[in-house]
Amino acid sequence: MDELFAVVTPGLESVAWNEMQELGLNPLTKESGGVLFQGDLKTIYWANLNLRTVSRILIRLGHFHASAFSELRKKAGRLPWENFINPGQPISLRATCHKSRLYHSDGVIERVVGAISDRLGSFSNHQKPKDIEDANLHQLIVVRLSNDECTISIDTSGDLLHRRGYRLATAKAPLRETLAASIILASGWNKNQPLLDPFCGSGTIPIEASLLALGLSPGQKRQFAFMLWPNYDKSLWDNLLNVIQSTHPHELPLIQASDRDAGAIEMARANAKRAGVSDFIEFECRAISAISPPPDPGFLITNPPYGLRVNSNKDLRNLYAQFGNVMRSHCKNWNTAILCSDPKLLAQIGLKLDTTLRFTNGGISVILGKGIVP
């Protein structure tokens, strides 16, 4: 069994842990920025295919002490690189050094590239990818030195897992698909009750909710780094695809998405069509004051503007106060999960909210305020 690491936005480790348990991936420990687990090739394929909240999956190839460059090259050269890199395949290395005698990251990269060349018996070409398409041809290797202890990991995912392939059009301040899925799961939505996003932008939250409720795997239409490995088992991958495609989807509840920006709604509809869920979402161009949710209680999950990203010069207090009034008049007894960067803005809503879940969105510290509308 290999040691695997699911990379997660810091603050969302518990959300990813719960998702991994549901998928039968048996998480072992939480670390800052990820979750450690174990598995074989099938586990790697299954995790990449199905995890919604994770950025990438790494396989920890080796861990050893290294306080000199010669020691680093010698020990790195003993690792089974031939299982993950084809002769002549371009590689891309990232190195971080913390409280170690080997503190120069470029020097660390140079020795590890040399070790790979020694092991494979051919020159390994380390270069920075030109673009996303080029990056998919490179094998990413992550090297971390801390207190003279070296950990070398192989990326199994390739392109970051939030890139599902459907979101070609984006409105202002787009929310990554992995973060949208995380706040949906963190909200406690049970896939049976209605869901409303009145600030839907380019539609990421309602699209991710639809994919979740339909049981559609986020990775079934994309490529992964492990598909270039010498030991890639295509028959195993095809069998896993057959398993998920034979699963009967849930019957979807009402999913409503609205935004006052007509251009954003147009983008959202196009993204939903590419994702194959356009028939399951009601998109409307309307202001927050004009929302029309069903009478039965549901979940209001949204990412409203919070100043720092799209309206930095505007005072949004009135918008949030109006939002609170609309929820109390139209969404009585609904669960809500609201993403915001400013506790003062959340306070303007006038609801008692749990604000313990905090993470970053595009480099901005954000809060997920959860509660029930009285």
Over the stretch 53-90, which tens digit does the pLDDT of each residue have?
999 999 999 999 999 999 999 999 999 999 999 988 99
DSSP 280: G
Decide which of 211 and 134 is more confident: 211
* Least confident piece of the model among 7-11, 170-174, 274-278, 315-319: 170-174
**Does pLDDT of 171 surpass 70?**
no
State residue 122's pLDDT score.
82
Q: Quick one: pLDDT at residue 248? A: 65
Order of all β-strands in the sheet with 282-285: 282-285, 255-259, 195-197, 299-302, 335-340, 364-372, 354-361
Longest dimension (CA), the chain: 71
Mean pLDDT over 26-40 rounds to 97
Residue 312: predicted pLDDT: 47
pLDDT of 20 higher than 50: yes
The share of the chain scoring above pLDDT 70, in percent, equals 95
Pick the closest to residue 303 from 199, 154, 232, 213 (CA basis): 199
Residue 330 has pLDDT above 80, yes or no: yes
Q: Residue 309 above 60 pLDDT?
A: no
More confident position, 307 or 65? 65
Domains of the chain: 2-155 (3.30.2130.30), 177-216+224-372 (3.40.50.150)
Task: Please state, in angstroms and rounded to a whole number, the distance separating the CA atoms of residues 252 and 214.
Answer: 7
pLDDT at 308: 53
pLDDT over 90 (residue 92): yes
Helices and strands per DSSP (H, E), number in the chain:
11, 14
Q: How confident is the model at residue 310 (pLDDT cuts 50, 70, 90)?
A: very low
Token digits for 262?
């007509």
- Average pLDDT of the segment spanning 123-142: 81
pTM score, two decimals? 0.93
Q: What is the mean pLDDT of residues 3-24?
A: 98
What is the overall mean pLDDT for the chain?
93
125 band by pLDDT with thresholds 50, 70 and 90: confident
Q: How far apart are CA 314 and CA 251, in angstroms?
A: 41
What sign does the dihedral 316-254-163-141 (CA atoms) show? positive
Helix (H, G, I), strand (E, B) or coil at 185: helix
Residues 331-361 have pLDDT tens digits of 999 999 999 999 999 999 999 999 999 999 8
Asked whether 157 and 56 are in contact (CB, 8 A), the reply is: yes
Task: For residue 250, name the pLDDT band (cuts at 50, 70, 90).
Answer: low
Q: Which residues contact 174 (CB under 8 A, 6 or more apart)?
A: 167, 201, 202, 204
